[in-house]
């Protein structure tokens, strides 16, 4: 009988370093298949397969749609595609973004739980916000095992810490301990690999990640209308609670965690404030220009009125500028992260690359 031979790993900021160490510690005869989602901007090249391929004994490559699942391999989600698993094969789907990401961690974890039940081991590594917590819970609900990197070791502790708070994970370990535990689990015989029954909402969530038209058009959305708008498309978000997790999904499938939605709204607020500042500065400049023209023509009353409007706009702009300058910094994970370059990767000369 097989062991826990499907390993799914989610990582974001700081994840390249953790992944590099992890794969270097896995043995050459590791009997499981490893699937990796690292958050990466949609239109950025990813050299993560080359990095992981040279770091450890297992061959690593970008996943290909329809490719067969084979043990002893590392498959990595390419940019701008969700990596999903079906029984025996890999799917790449350009489905709705989750927490602003494609590829996203939760779709991989959910699909693995559905297809492989208790054979799955889910691993969360370094990152911010709470991506992966929902997928980790899905793995646990189907009888799989769950591992989280020790937040004290992670370069960015947000994802590990949120996963620990949301899910009763099986192990919290440093990366070296994760590698040893994965090897043990992969060789541990499972009596019932089918796992626990599949919850209806988990199957529906997976179908929406896969951009299944029937699931998207189904009027029976899980949860209740939240009154909040989806940051991606402006549609209504349905809210549902799953244990400690609060989750949101819109009609067309965009999904958000509570932390992800707050972070995205924070960015939206800042954008709106900068737009308002620009509008006030332009209004002040226009009013001053009109006032100058009025003064040239001797229309002092009109000129005074426009000067007053310019001063009012300047005053409001100064207030907005103070708000923007003094706003507290926030941990919002959207930009690229630099992978190891030649200055910190001694195994191969080369250039820095962007993933994150």
Per-residue pLDDT, averaged over 103-111, amounts to: 96
In tens, the pLDDT along 257-313 reads 888 888 888 888 888 898 999 999 999 999 999 999 999 999 999 999 999 999 999
In tens, the pLDDT along 133-167 reads 999 999 999 999 999 999 999 999 999 999 999 99
Higher pLDDT, 110 or 193: 110
What is residue 215's predicted lDDT score, i.e. its pLDDT?
62
Residue the block writes with tokens 């297992």:
58
> Do 222 and 211 meet the contact criterion of CB atoms below 8 Å apart?
no
Higher pLDDT, 295 or 197: 295
Residue 45 has pLDDT above 80, yes or no: yes
End-to-end CA distance of the chain: 37
Whether the full predicted model's pTM is greater than 0.95, yes or no, is no
Mean per-residue pLDDT over the chain, rounded = 86
Task: Give catalytic residues, as residue numbers.
Answer: 12, 39, 131
What is residue 255's predicted lDDT score, i.e. its pLDDT?
87
Rounded CA-CA distance 150/153 in Å is 5
Rounded CA-CA distance 85/83 in Å is 7
What is residue 313's predicted lDDT score, i.e. its pLDDT?
94
If one counts every other C-beta atom within 10 angstroms of the C-beta of residue 330, the result is 11
Rounded CA-CA distance 84/209 in Å is 9
- The most confident of the ranges 103-117, 180-194, 317-331 is 103-117
Reduced to 3 states, what is the DSSP secondary structure of residue 262?
Answer: helix
Residue 186 has pLDDT above 60, yes or no: yes
> Do 85 and 69 meet the contact criterion of CB atoms below 8 Å apart?
yes
Rounded CA-CA distance 167/138 in Å is 10
**Strand pairing partners for 36?**
9, 76
> Which band of pLDDT confidence, cut at 50, 70 and 90, is reported for residue 341?
very low
């Amino acid at each position: 009988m097989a062991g826990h031979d499907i390993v799914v790993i989610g990582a974001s900021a700081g994840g390249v370093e953790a992944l590099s160490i992890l794969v270097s510690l896995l043995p050459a005869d590791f009997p499981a298949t490893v699937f990796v989602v690292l958050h990466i901007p949609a239109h950025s090249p990813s050299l993560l397969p080359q990095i992981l391929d040279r770091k450890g004994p297992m061959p690593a490559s970008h996943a290909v749609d329809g490719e067969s699942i084979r043990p002893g391999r590392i498959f990595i989600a390419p940019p701008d595609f969700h990596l999903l698993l079906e029984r025996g094969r890999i799917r790449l789907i350009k489905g709705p973004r989750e927490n602003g990401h494609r590829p996203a961690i939760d779709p991989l974890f959910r699909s693995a739980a559905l297809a492989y039940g208790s054979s799955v081991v889910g691993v969360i590594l370094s990152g911010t916000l709470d991506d992966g917590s929902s997928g980790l819970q899905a793995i646990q609900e189907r009888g799989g095992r769950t591992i989280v990197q020790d937040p004290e070791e992670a370069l960015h502790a947000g994802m590990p810490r949120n996963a620990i708070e949301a899910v009763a994970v099986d192990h919290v370990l440093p990366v070296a301990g994760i590698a040893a535990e994965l090897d043990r689990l992969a060789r541990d015989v499972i009596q019932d690999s089918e796992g626990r029954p599949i919850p209806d909402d988990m199957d529906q969530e997976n179908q929406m990640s896969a951009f299944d038209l029937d699931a998207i058009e189904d009027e029976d959305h899980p949860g209740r209308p939240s009154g909040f708008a989806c940051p991606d498309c402006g549609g209504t978000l349905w809210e549902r609670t799953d244990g400690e997790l609060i989750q949101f999904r819109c009609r067309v499938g965009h999904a958000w965690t509570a932390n992800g939605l707050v972070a995205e709204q924070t960015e939206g607020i800042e954008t709106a404030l900068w737009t308002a500042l620009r509008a006030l500065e332009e209004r002040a400049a226009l009013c001053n220009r009109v006032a100058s023209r009025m003064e040239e023509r001797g229309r002092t009353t009109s000129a005074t009125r426009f000067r007053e409007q310019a001063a009012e706009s300047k005053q409001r702009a100064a207030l907005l500028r103070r708000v923007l300058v003094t706003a507290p910094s926030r941990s919002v994970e959207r930009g690229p992260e630099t992978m190891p370059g030649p200055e910190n990767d001694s195994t191969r000369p080369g250039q820095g690359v962007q993933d994150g």
